[in-house]
A and B are shown apart, each in its own frame.
Chain A
Amino acid sequence: MATGEAKAARSERANQRPELAALDDATLREALRRMHLIRKFEEEAENSYMRGLIHGTMHLSIGQEASAVGTCLPLEPQDYILSTHRGHGHCIAKGAQPGMMFAEFFGKETGYCRGRGGSMHIADVEGGNLGANGIVGGGLPIAAGVGLSIKMQKNGRVCIVFFGDGASNEGAFHEALNMASIWKLPVVFVCENNHYGMSMAIERASAVPNVADRAPAYAMPGITIDGNDLPLVAATAGEAIARARSGGGPTLIECKTYRIRGHSKSDRNLYRTKEEIDLWRSRCPIVRLEEELLGHDRFDRQALDAIEAAAAAEIAEAIEFAKASPDPDISELTRDVYAN
């Protein structure tokens, strides 16, 4: 029996679109928290890079928060994800601790990979994140293997694999989708189409306008959605995850989105216009969700600000943890090349 209060809340949601109405307040709060965490994480990562605290390069996902968080929202803790070089958001969306992530970027022993992997290889195996990948498309065939493993062990889990529009032109993409389909594997393929590889626009790189247009070739459902719309991403992913879990096989979801920052630290934005970047800035997935929630009185400004402030505090604490952490011991240089 629903309480009177819950009933009232539901009827109040009747005038909301179904994707939003389906999300209760606690879920929305968590989604917003994670999106803010990602945004602030990326900003702090960039800031730390500028101040020389992080070496190497990194690929920021500012502007893509809704696809990461929306996709992971319907997952159970024991489910798996496989991530990409632009993977900080996926990692946080799957529940990783920002402190251990920053520690990894700073190359510290307390990092997720003990400082051996850095931004491009961050993995939270215990939390179900089987790793970012330095190889474009590298996670796609692995996802088929994870799916097969789940199926053989009959453990009811699901595997999400993220990849970019650029990765969809790798042979690995086609081989993985085909295998997942013929074996009906519990895998959801999530393409974050941010319209560019490093610099090459998808229109120039791909024979079809939408990555999801390729799904029929592998006899799986393919759907192209607005990847900056969190409730829509969550609803679409939720359906695909449920189908995968119940033995219905894989789905290809294409989230159209945009990376506001350059491809990596060396990008001078020579291949796109300021107008285009500004247009997408105005489509910020966080602001969009907040405005929709305010419009429906689901949260007030004060509540939203509190969520953001808590995320900011968490990131500040995470940075301090990372800074205070020890470096790896050089005497352990070759540790973990092999398992014993």
Chain B
Amino acid sequence: MRELSYAEAIREALGQAMEADERVFLFGEDVGVYGGAFGVSGDLVHRFGTERVIDTPISELGIAGVAVGAAITGMRPVLEIQFSDFVTLAMEQIVNQAAKIRFMFGGKATVPMVVRLPGGSGTGAAAQHSQSLEAWFAHVPGLKVIQPATPHDAKGMLLAALDDPNPVLIFEHKLLYKTKGPVPAEAYRVPIGKAAIRREGTDLTIVGTSLMSLKAEAAAARLAEEGISAEVIDLRTIRPIDFDTVAASVRKTGRLLVVYEGVKTMGIGAEISAMIAESDVFDFLDAPILRLGGADMPLPYNPQLEKAAVPQEDDIVAAARRLKREE
């Protein structure tokens, strides 16, 4: 099949959505002729014009509000927050307004907006340009939060997000933009709320999000050489979480390792672990659950320090071995 980069896949989805539905438009800081800080919007402004690919002032709170206002009055806005860290300036509109309007109004309004948020570390951008804040939003009822890890899912989940009548936040890891993979040419959907089993295994389950699911796959290949059979699940959506897929896997393997880049404390791993502990799946565990997450610190600049602050393939391999040894 034809291969596209993750960034190209997103651009193709945006182009197809704008062709199919005149309500769809893209806006954000430098998404026009500049093509987006990470080149995602690319040439879209030349194809669709400045009325549908709109450069905005540097006003994150304001533009998040623009998305809300446009969404509740019949449009399908796609907002790019240049770096996901800057969403901290837009929290008000996303958390207090977008997430709650439907409920507060007794179901009499919908807020079909999509927010794209490039995040994650590994680019030497230091503490204010490298965070993984997705778990914050997964704590907010009314929002959906997705983290596609492959070009295929990036396209399919963005198109699914545009069909969704709720606010959907897409956290795109910056290191994924240049990764390549097969992407069908037609406009297809990958459902929100459905995890993907990337590799089947019997000894332990590794649940990863975004870039970490790719690292988990690489780690699983190495573990296989040592005779450890790891099942790898790419969570893909963190709200609503696909607990059924995780639970079925852990029932089978009896061991669980959760890997995510956001700070480990109070994160996605805690939630999944607690869901297991509260369910009958707990009885299937043969070993304590392990979590690998970001260190409890701001992300450092120095490349060695930066790597050490988030889980790496070696860490996953080591954790899996430890889990396997526990009887």
Chain A residues within 8 Å of B, Cβ to Cβ:
80, 111-117, 121, 123, 125-126, 130-131, 133-135, 138, 140-150, 152-153, 159, 171-172, 175-176, 178-179, 182, 335-340
Contact = CB atoms under 8 A, between A and B. Distances in A.
Contact of A172 (B69, B92, B108, B144): B92
Interface stretch (B54-62, B210-218, B228-236, B285-293): B54-62
Contact of A111 (B70, B106, B141, B142): B106
B59 A138 contact: no
A146 B144 CA distance: 23
Given A135-B97, A138-B96, A182-B57, A335 B107 contact: yes
B97 to A, nearest CB: 6
Nearest to B89: A171
Interface residues of B, number: 42
B39 interface: no
B51 interface: yes
Contacts of B73: 80, 130, 145-146, 149-150, 153
B308 interface: no
B69 A152 contact: no
Nearest to A126: B108
Given A149-B74, A175-B57, A178-B57, A113 B105 contact: yes
B166 A338 contact: yes
Given A175-B57, A176-B62, A117 B105 contact: yes
A123 B108 contact: yes
A103 to B, nearest CB: 11
A114 B68 contact: no
Give the most central of A147, A336, A338: most B CB within 10 Å.
Answer: A338
Contacts of A140: 65
A145 B69 contact: yes
A222 B50 CA distance: 29
Contact of B96 (A134, A150, A335): A134
Given A337-B141, A339-B110, A145 B165 contact: no
Interface in B66-82: 66-75, 77
Given A125-B72, A143-B69, 11 more contacts: A112-B108, A114-B107, A123-B109, A125-B105, A141-B61, A141-B63, A147-B69, A148-B75, A149-B75, A178-B59, A339-B112
Contacts of A148: 66, 69-70, 75
A115 B144 CA distance: 24
Contacts of A112: 105-106, 108
21 contacts: A113-B108, A116-B105, A121-B105, A123-B109, A125-B108, A131-B104, A134-B96, A138-B97, A140-B65, A141-B62, A142-B65, A142-B66, A144-B65, A147-B69, A152-B25, A153-B75, A172-B61, A178-B62, A179-B59, A179-B63, A339-B112
B103 interface: yes
Given A113-B104, A123-B105, A336-B107, A153 B66 contact: no
B75 A175 contact: no
A172 B107 contact: no
Contacts of B106: 111-117, 336
